[in-house]
Structure 1
Amino acid sequence: MTASPRSTPADTARAAALASRDLVVDLARVACILLVVVIHLLMIGVGYAPDGALVVSRPLEAQPWFAAATWVGQIMPLFFAVGGFTALAAWRSLSRRGGDATAFVRGRVLRLSGPSLPLFAFFAVVLGAATLAGVDPALLDTVATGAGSPLWFLAAFLIAQCAVPWMTQLHARAPRATLALLAAGAVVVDAVRVATGITEIGLVNLLFVWLFVQQLGFWYADGWFRRRRIATLVGIAAAAYLVIWPLVAAGWYSPDMLVNLNPPTVPLLLLGIAQISLLSALHRPLDALMHRRAAQAVVYLVGSRAMTVYLWHLPVIIMVEGLSLLIPGAAPEPGSPAWWLTRPIMFVVVLAVVFAIAPLLVRFERLPTTIPAGRRAPSPLVTAIAMVLAIVPPFLVMQWFLDLQLAIVGTVLVALALLLLRPRRVIGPLAAAT
C-alpha cells in the first residue's frame, strides 16, 4: 500500500505501520477468538420446552456431524501457531532494543495474566456470595465449571510464550531437528499414556505439542510456508488430516478433536500443520481482504480487546441466557428451529455486552511493561517465581475445573505475581547516580 499524492502524514504513518505487519495473522487471531464464542453459544442451551419445563442441554454436541465438524472447528492449534509468529516478532524487536529473556517473560506474564485477575476476583465474589446465600452447590458447580473453562488456555499459552527466547535459539540453530524432537516427544508421551491408561501422563504434552505448534509459527514468520506453492500447501494439509484418520480409527484418539485438547495430543499437532498450511495457501485473498478499511476496523476492534472477549464471553453468555428466561418467548427450547434462529441475535448481544464492560477491564489488558526512569526491573529469580504463580491457577482450573476455592487461589496467586513484576525502586548509590 503506497501513499497517494493527497495522503496526510497520518495516512503515511498508517500505511507504513500496515506494511510492517502480516495482517492475515491479525485476521486469523481474531477469527479464532470469534469462532470460540460461536461454538460456546451453540454448546450452551437454556430454554423452555413446549410444556413449560426448563431445559438445559448442549445442542451442538447432540448433532450427528459434531465430531466431524471439530476437525475444522478445533482452531486452538492455529491460535498457538499465530501466537508463535507474533511472539517471535516481539522477541526480535525486544532483542534489538537490548532486552533480554527476563524482560520478555515479564512482559508476557503481565499481558496474559493481567486480564485474568478481575475474572478470578469476579468468580470469587459471585461464587462466595451464592454459597452464603444457600444456592444449590450442584448448580454452582455446573455454572462455575462452564464459565471458567476458558482459563485453561492461559496455562498452556503462558508456558509456550515464556519459552520463546530459548525456543527461538533452537529454531535458529536446528529448525528441522527441533520440530522432529518435539514431534517425537509428543508421540512417546501419547504412547505411554495409551499403554498405561494414565491420563495425567499426557500433561507432559503441554510442552511437546504446544511448543511444536508454536514452532510452526516461527517457520511461518521466516517465510517457509509462503515460499511453498498453493498445491504443495494443500497437499501438506491433506496429508496431515490423512495421518489423523488411522490414529482415530485405531481407537487411540477420540474422533472429537475437543476431547483431544486437554491433555493435548498428537492429532492437535497434525491439525496445527494442516491449519497453518491452509492459512498460507489462502494468504493472498485474505491479505486483499485485510487491505479494506472495514475489515481492518473489525479486526482492530476485536483484537484490541482480545483477552477480554476470550475470558469474559462465557460468563456473559450464561448471564444473557439466564436473563432471557425472564423474557417471554426469548428462551425457546434448545435445539429447536427457533433456538437455532436466535443464535445470531445472541451472538450480537453477547459481544455488545462484552464490549460494554471492556472499558472497566482495559487497564488489566494493557498493564505497562516498560521500566520508568529511576526504577529497575525485577530480578530473573523473582520473574521466574511470578511466572510460576501465574501459571498455577489456570493449570489447576484445567485439571479440576473452577470452583470457589480455585477462584480465591487464583485471585491471590495472580495478584501476587503481578505485584512481583512491578518495577522496583532503585536505592543506594545507584539511585543517586540516576
Structure 2
Amino acid sequence: MTMTVEPAGGRPPTTAPVAAAPEARTRDRFLDVVRLFVMVLVVVQHWWLPVLSVQVQGELSAGSVLSSDGGFALTWISQVMPLIFFVGGAANFFSWRAASRRGEPARVWWAKRLRRLAWPVVPLAVVWIVSCHLIVLGGAPAQPVLVGAGAAGMVLWFLASYVIVVMATPILVAAQERFGWWVPAALLAGAVIVDTVRFSSGVEWLGFLNVAFVWLGVHQMGFRYATGSIGKAQAAWLAGVGGVAALVLAWFGPYSLNMTGVFAAETSNVSPPTLVLAALGALQIGVSVLLRDRISAWVDRPGPARMMDRISPQLMTVYLWHMVPVSVIAGVLVFGLGIDTPEPMTGLWLLWGVLGVVVLIPLILPLAHWAVRFEEPPRMLKGDPGLIRVLAAAALIGGGLLVLTVGGLGFGPLPVIGLIAVISGLLLTAAPRTRVRETVREALRA
C-alpha cells in the first residue's frame, strides 16, 4: 500500500510535507516507517509470545508468555495494531479523495480496494490448506499441524475488520468534512456505551460491536492526520489523555491487563476490542505524531528513503506470510530437535527470542519478495460491478475472512468454506459480462 500526502479540502496538512501545487503529491514516508514498525513487532511477538512444548502423548501444547507473572506488561509494547488502522485511515482518505476528484463512484472504489485486500489471501490459503494435507498424509501428527494452521489463520482478523473500515470510508470522509472532531468523538462514545452495557449486563458478545466503534475511531484519526488536524498540540493531548485513560481503565476498570492475546487463555482487550485499546491507540498516535519530524528527517535521507521505497510494498505480504517460516522453525526446534520454549521471562527465554528473530529474517525476506507478486489482482477482476454486487462482495469477503480466522488454514470444512466465500466475493467485484460487452461495443462505435 503506497502512502501519498495530498492537500485535503483545500488545506494542506500541517503535519505532513506540503505540496508545491494543489495537484502535487509528496510521499509521506513517516507513515511507511510506522507501518514497518508495526510489522516488525507483529513478527517478533508471534515468535516470542507463544510457549511451545511437546506432551507425553505427542501433542503440541501452545501456551503464552502472557500467562506468566508480569507477562501482560509486554503487550503494552507489542500491541501496535491501532497504528496500522491509523495509517490505513490516512491511505484510504488519500485514495478516496483522489477517486472522487476523478469522478469515480464509491462502488468502483470499493471494488478496487476489496480486490487488493482479498486477492493476496487466496494463494496464501491455498498454500496452507494443500501443505497441511500433504504433511499429514506424509505421516506428521495432525494436532500440531492444526495449531500452526490456526495461528496462520488468526492473522486474518485484521483483514476481516478492515473490510468494515473500507466500506465505511466514503461515508466517514463526508462526515468528517462536515463535523470534524465530532466524528471520532461520536465513535468513542459508541465504544463507551458498548463496554458499559457489556460489563453491566454480562452479555459478552455485545463487545464485538466495538469492532466497528474502536477500529473505525482509530481509522478516523488517520483522516484527521491527513487533513492536518493533528498538530503537536493535539498530538500531546492524545498522548497524555490516552495514556492516562488506558492506565486508569485497565487498573481500576473491569478490563484485562493484556492488550493482546497471542495464545493467551485469558481474555484481552483485543477480542473484542475495548475502550482501553482505543485509549492505547490515542497514546500511540499522539507519540508517533510528536516524533514525526525526527522520523521524517531520518527517512528522507537518500539511503533510508531507498530502503523504505523497496520495503514498503512488501510489508503486507510479510504480515500475511510470516507465519510460514515461524511455523517451520518452531516445528523443527520443538518436534525435530525436542527443544521446548524456555521458561518465560528468563535470560534463556530472551536468548531464544533473539536467536529466533535472527533466523527468521533471512527466511521471511525472500519469501515476501517471492509472494509480493500476489498483491496485484488478476486482470479479469476489473470494471464497475454495480452497487448490489459490490455490497454482496464485501459481505462474502468479510464473512469468508472471518471464517478463515476462526477455522484456521488447515483441513476440515471451515477453511474450504472460508476460501470459497472469499473467491466468490472477489468474482463479484468484476463487472458483469454483459456490461463489459456493452462497454466494448460503445468503444468500437466511438
Fold in common (TM above 0.5): yes
Q: 2:442 aligns with which of 407, 430, 433?
A: 430
Q: 1:417 aligns with which of 421, 425, 439?
A: 425
Q: 1:337 to 1:57 in 2, by over 3 A?
A: farther
Give the match's secondary structure for 1:163.
Answer: helix
Instruction: Please state how far the C-alpha of 1:45 moved relative to its aligned partner.
Output: 4.3
Give the match's secondary structure for 2:437.
Answer: coil
Q: Percent identity?
A: 30
**Is the deviation greater in 270-279 or in 344-353?**
344-353
**Is the deviation greater in 40-49 or in 261-270?**
40-49
Q: Deviations over 1:272-298 (max 9, x none)?
A: 211111111111111111112332233
Instruction: Please state how far the C-alpha of 1:177 moved relative to its aligned partner.
Output: 2.5
**Is the deviation greater in 413-422 or in 264-273?**
413-422
8 Å CA contact retained: 1:182, 1:209: yes
Q: Deviations over 1:32-62 (max 9, x none)?
A: 011100111111344799xxx9985556425
Q: 1:352 aligns with which of 355, 362, 368?
A: 362
Match of 1:3 in 2: none
**Is the deviation greater in 67-76 or in 423-432?**
423-432
> Does residue 390 of the first structure (1) align with residue 397 of the second (2)?
yes
> Does residue 139 of the first structure (1) align with residue 144 of the second (2)?
yes
Instruction: Please state how far the C-alpha of 1:116 moved relative to its aligned partner.
Output: 0.8
8 Å CA contact retained: 1:78, 1:272: yes
- Root-mean-square deviation (CA, aligned residues, Å) is 3.1
Partners of 2:269 and 2:277 lie apart in 1 by 7
State the aligned residue count.
Answer: 411
Match of 1:175 in 2: 180
Instruction: Please state how far the C-alpha of 1:265 moved relative to its aligned partner.
Output: 1.1
Partners of 2:343 and 2:33 lie apart in 1 by 31
Q: 1:120 to 1:272 in 2, by over 3 A?
A: same
Matches within 5 A, 1:40-51: 40-46=46-52
Give the match's secondary structure for 1:304.
Answer: helix
Q: 1:371 to 1:78 in 2, by over 3 A?
A: same
Matches within 5 A, 1:260-271: 260-271=269-280
8 Å CA contact retained: 1:55, 1:334: no
Match of 1:380 in 2: 387
Q: 1:364 to 1:129 in 2, by over 3 A?
A: same
Q: 1:75 to 1:88 in 2, by over 3 A?
A: same
Partners of 1:412 and 1:32 lie apart in 2 by 30
Match of 2:351 in 1: 341
Q: 1:253 aligns with which of 239, 246, 255?
A: 255
Match of 1:119 in 2: 124
Q: 1:397 to 1:334 in 2, by over 3 A?
A: farther
Instruction: Please list every run of 5 or more consecutive structure 1 residues that lacks an aligned counterpart in the other structure.
Output: 1-14
Give the match's secondary structure for 1:255.
Answer: coil
Amino acid aligned to 1:386: A
Partners of 1:272 and 1:69 lie apart in 2 by 16
Match of 1:190 in 2: 195
TM-score (norm: length of structure 2): 0.82
Match of 2:297 in 1: 288
Partners of 2:47 and 2:24 lie apart in 1 by 33
Match of 1:301 in 2: 310
Q: 1:172 to 1:368 in 2, by over 3 A?
A: farther
Partners of 1:293 and 1:358 lie apart in 2 by 24
Matches within 5 A, 1:189-268: 189-226=194-231, 228-229=232-233, 233-258=235-260, 259-268=268-277
TM-score (norm: length of structure 1): 0.84
Instruction: Please state how far the C-alpha of 1:159 moved relative to its aligned partner.
Output: 1.0
Give the match's secondary structure for 2:300.
Answer: coil
8 Å CA contact retained: 2:400, 2:420: no
Q: Deviations over 1:280-318 (max 9, x none)?
A: 111111111111233223333332112211011122201
Instruction: Please list every run of 5 or more consecutive structure 2 residues that lacks an aligned counterpart in the other structure.
Output: 1-19, 261-267
Match of 1:4 in 2: none
Partners of 1:96 and 1:431 lie apart in 2 by 23
Amino acid aligned to 1:288: A
Amino acid aligned to 1:388: A
Instruction: Please state how far the C-alpha of 1:172 moved relative to its aligned partner.
Output: 0.6
> Does residue 101 of the first structure (1) align with residue 106 of the second (2)?
yes
